[in-house]
């Protein structure tokens, strides 16, 4: 057996640990530089983020987040060297140096790569890397990859990182190497190792409190942007991974929150606060199906003259940009004129942040539940839901059709949609193979023509829901498109975030989609055979990644268009309705408007009647009420922001503090999400003999 000089071994390990501190200091400098770069790119001094001491506190707090991230990144080398104290193998320490050098190079490469991705992610989503990152890859994976390659300098970034990684690997040779260190008293070596271990433990926790540092510690001020300054993107990404793993394995929302032992109370609050329903007598056997059943009124004209009913879901069709319409900036391409002829809902809020969530909320009339993956990706994907909108029309003699301009494999639509009352389901594969397209689907003009052909050739009332794709990265347009004027005003430029050329490209795609919608509506309502058509137009989500939003402008961040066109005999005179609505409310609104004496299940309300005293929610944990707005973090069970409307028009907000009101609104919102979650399980159980809900 080879003899080991234990005194020399302690000296070598303590020398290596000491050199590790030079690397740690270098990493602190790197992380701080990245934070400075982030602040320089995304701060807006005109919006209050220029208070020196608040900014300084953000940078100092950021050091704590960096501390935890750095130590976890270096945990393998630290662990290996400390194990060297008890592993009596002569070649162990030289091998540790080699492994540590390779490991640290890979970790630094990963850190830098995440830094780069985070810049582009924040530019689009106005947040550090979070759980939305994983939802991107639930889209059409090939299309996502193609879009990234076309829109971002991926090759240059990777090449630069590889070169930088090679340099880092060389420099790490100055940190990780094996040599016999000068001997000092053994107790001093032990002191260095023991003291360093304590320092590493403190750095890993980054807190002297009861809990290690977490995301809730980031909210140190009332400025939304500054609250995102401290957490570094590696830390937020690691938390996103944790949330994603928990999301896939967690209990249903209703079982994890307040109403798990009193779901009937959740039903009652949901009906009262979100649907405006009268209080009902409750008992322990009542179900969501019996509680939320509604019935539309009788209408002899509709019964004898049923209209075609069309829902157009426009990709990335936000509302706020329409406020900048002018002769020089013809962004709506005539759609503003159609809005003036319609019933327009100007306080319509997207139910969630992602396309698939808002699509399913429209199809099923249920809110998008926090901390869940899309329904089409869950066990519910093959469940036929009683609340399915298309099924209500099919039962009334309508031919029902779903058309998506992209691939039906996106979000497993081909599995989910056919179970929701649609007679026909079409996607990109049903178009002629040579139809011009982008990576995400056929150009909108061909989609609109496809739907028009269905209508003009029909002999029965049609219900059609279709979803466009062209106004989506990489924002490619057909060369044949003759674009109207699109010159940005100075007032518009003042709210643009990031590259103006990229914003112009996105506006051009928005304009193209608007022009195709305008052409479709012109063809539709100029055709005598199709005048008896109700058309509802909305968006999957806001126009993202372009505008800076202040706290006061939260409404504009989540607002999307919703307007209804049709013969005056059905919709009445044009008007604007300012009650809150979301995608959940489209179903009951259209059923009440077009299907007489129809029994249906919905978790939304008819927006055509007075809804000024009712509230709506967004999947992000935001509730918009008549007087207040609450942003609530469900993973941490913590209020993030609480606001009061500045005026009765409800366009801008002031931050306030009222613990009792915050709790009241969070309870109502939790009741609504719990009710929807319970309904999903209820429908699954009804359709699955192999699963039953068990009491906790």
pLDDT tens, position by position, 417-448: 999 999 999 999 899 989 999 988 999 999 99
Paired tokens of 516? 């195709």
Under a CB-based contact definition with an 8 Å cutoff, are residues 456 and 421 in contact? no
Under a CB-based contact definition with an 8 Å cutoff, are residues 49 and 223 in contact? yes
Paired tokens of 647? 């005026």
pLDDT at 696 over 60: no
Q: What is the mean pLDDT of residues 598-621?
A: 92
Q: How confident is the model at residue 177 (pLDDT cuts 50, 70, 90)?
A: confident
CA–CA separation, 433 and 441 (whole Å):
12
Helix, coil or strand: residue 143: helix
CA–CA separation, 619 and 640 (whole Å):
14
Least confident span in 219-223, 305-309, 362-366, 466-470 = 219-223
CA–CA separation, 102 and 644 (whole Å):
54
pLDDT digits (tens, 9 = 90+) for 42-59: 876 545 445 788 888 889
Beta-strand runs (E) in 265-371: 293-295, 308-314, 343-345, 348-349
Where exactly are the structural domains of the chain?
6-249, 307-624
Taking the CA atoms of the chain, what radius of gyration do you get in angstroms?
A: 29
CA–CA separation, 640 and 642 (whole Å):
7
Q: Is CATH 3.40.50.150 the right assignment for the domain spanning 307-624?
A: no
Residue 629's nearest CA partner among 686, 558, 540, 543 is 558
pLDDT at 153 over 90: no
Identify which has the larger pLDDT, 548 or 627: 627
pLDDT in the model for residue 465: 99
pLDDT at 500 over 80: yes
CA–CA separation, 527 and 304 (whole Å):
21
Under a CB-based contact definition with an 8 Å cutoff, are residues 587 and 362 in contact? yes
Place of tokens 């809990």: 211
How far is residue 450 CA from its own chain's centroid? 30
CA–CA separation, 477 and 443 (whole Å):
8
pLDDT at 41 over 80: yes
pLDDT in the model for residue 510: 97
pLDDT digits (tens, 9 = 90+) for 543-569: 877 887 888 888 999 999 999 999 999
- Terminal-residue alpha carbon distance, the chain: 59
- What is the Cβ-side half-sphere exposure of residue 243, based on CA atoms within 13 angstroms? 23
- Judged on CB neighbours under 10 Å (0-12, 13-18, 19+), 524 is buried
Q: What is the mean pLDDT of residues 242-269?
A: 82
pLDDT digits (tens, 9 = 90+) for 63-105: 999 999 999 999 999 999 888 888 877 788 888 888 989 999 9
Mean pLDDT value across the chain: 88
User: What's the pTM?
Assistant: 0.77
CA–CA separation, 541 and 447 (whole Å):
19
pLDDT in the model for residue 695: 34
pLDDT at 206 over 60: yes
- Judged on CB neighbours under 10 Å (0-12, 13-18, 19+), 165 is middle
Q: How confident is the model at residue 691 (pLDDT cuts 50, 70, 90)?
A: very low
CA–CA separation, 618 and 669 (whole Å):
9
* Sign of the dihedral defined by the CA atoms of residues 87, 89, 94, 99, in that order: negative
């Amino acid at each position: 057996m080879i003899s080991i000089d234990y005194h020399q071994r302690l000296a070598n390990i303590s020398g290596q640990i000491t050199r590790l501190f030079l690397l740690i200091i270098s990493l602190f400098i790197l992380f701080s530089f990245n934070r400075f770069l982030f602040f320089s790119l995304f701060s807006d001094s005109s919006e209050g983020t220029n208070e020196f001491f608040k900014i300084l506190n953000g940078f100092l707090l950021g050091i704590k987040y960096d501390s935890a991230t750095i130590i976890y990144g270096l945990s393998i080398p630290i662990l290996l060297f400390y194990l060297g104290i008890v592993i009596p193998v002569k070649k162990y320490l030289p091998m540790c140096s080699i492994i540590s050098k390779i490991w640290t190079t890979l970790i630094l490469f990963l850190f830098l790569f995440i830094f780069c991705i985070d810049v582009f992610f924040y530019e689009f989503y106005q947040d550090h890397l979070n759980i939305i990152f994983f939802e991107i890859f639930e889209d059409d994976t090939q299309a996502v990859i193609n879009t990234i390659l076309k829109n971002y300098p991926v090759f240059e970034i990777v090449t630069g990182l590889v070169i930088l990684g090679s340099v880092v690997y060389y420099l790490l040779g100055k940190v990780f190497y094996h040599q016999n260190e000068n001997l000092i008293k053994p107790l001093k070596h032990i002191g260095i190792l023991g003291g360093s271990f304590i320092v590493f433990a403190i750095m890993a926790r980054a807190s002297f409190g009861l809990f290690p540092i977490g995301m809730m510690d980031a909210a140190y001020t009332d400025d939304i942007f500054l609250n995102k300054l401290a957490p570094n993107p590696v830390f937020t990404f690691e938390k996103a991974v944790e949330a994603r793993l928990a999301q896939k394995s967690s209990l249903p929302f209703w079982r994890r929150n307040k109403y798990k032992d009193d779901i009937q109370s959740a039903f009652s609050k949901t009906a009262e606060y979100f649907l405006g329903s009268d209080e009902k007598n409750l008992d322990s056997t009542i179900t969501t199906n019996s509680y939320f059943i509604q019935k539309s009124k009788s209408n002899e004209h509709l019964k004898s003259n049923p209209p075609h009913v069309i829902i157009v879901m426009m990709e990335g069709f936000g509302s706020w940009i329409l406020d900048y319409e002018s002769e020089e900036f013809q962004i709506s391409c005539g759609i503003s004129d159609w809005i003036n002829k319609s019933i327009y809902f100007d306080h319509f809020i997207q139910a969630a942040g992602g396309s698939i969530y808002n699509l399913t909320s429209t199809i099923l009339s249920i809110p998008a539940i926090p901390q869940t993956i899309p329904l089409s990706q869950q066990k519910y994907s093959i469940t036929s839901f009683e609340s399915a909108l298309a099924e209500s029309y099919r039962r009334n003699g309508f031919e029902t059709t779903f058309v998506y301009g992209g691939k039906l494999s996106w979000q497993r639509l081909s599995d989910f949609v056919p179970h929701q009352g649609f007679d026909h389901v079409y996607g990109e594969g049903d178009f002629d193979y040579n139809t011009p397209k982008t990576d995400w689907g056929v150009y909108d003009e061909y989609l609109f023509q496809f739907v028009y052909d269905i209508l003009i050739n029909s002999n029965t009332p049609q219900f059609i829901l279709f979803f466009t794709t062209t106004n989506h990265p990489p924002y490619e347009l057909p060369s044949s498109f003759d674009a109207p004027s699109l010159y940005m005003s100075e007032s518009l430029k003042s709210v643009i975030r990031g590259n103006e050329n990229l914003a112009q490209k996105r506006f051009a795609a928005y304009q193209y989609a608007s022009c195709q919608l305008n052409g479709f509506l012109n063809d539709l309502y100029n055709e005598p055979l199709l005048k008896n058509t109700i058309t509802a137009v909305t968006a999957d989500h806001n126009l993202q990644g372009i505008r800076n939003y202040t706290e006061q402008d939260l409404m504009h961040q989540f607002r999307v268009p919703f307007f209804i066109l049709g013969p005056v005999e059905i919709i009445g005179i044009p008007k604007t309705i300012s009650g809150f609505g979301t995608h959940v409310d489209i179903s009951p609104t259209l059923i009440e408007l077009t299907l007489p004496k129809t029994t249906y299940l919905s978790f939304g309300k008819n927006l055509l009647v007075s809804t000024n005293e009712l509230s709506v929610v967004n999947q992000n944990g935001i509730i918009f009420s008549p007087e207040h707005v609450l942003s609530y973090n469900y993973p941490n069970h913590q209020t993030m922001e609480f606001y009061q409307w500045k005026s009765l028009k409800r366009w801008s907000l002031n931050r306030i503090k009222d613990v009792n009101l915050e709790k009241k609104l969070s309870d109502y919102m939790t009741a609504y999400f719990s009710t929807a979650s319970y309904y999903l399980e209820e429908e699954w159980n009804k359709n699955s003999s192999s699963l039953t809900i068990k009491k906790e």
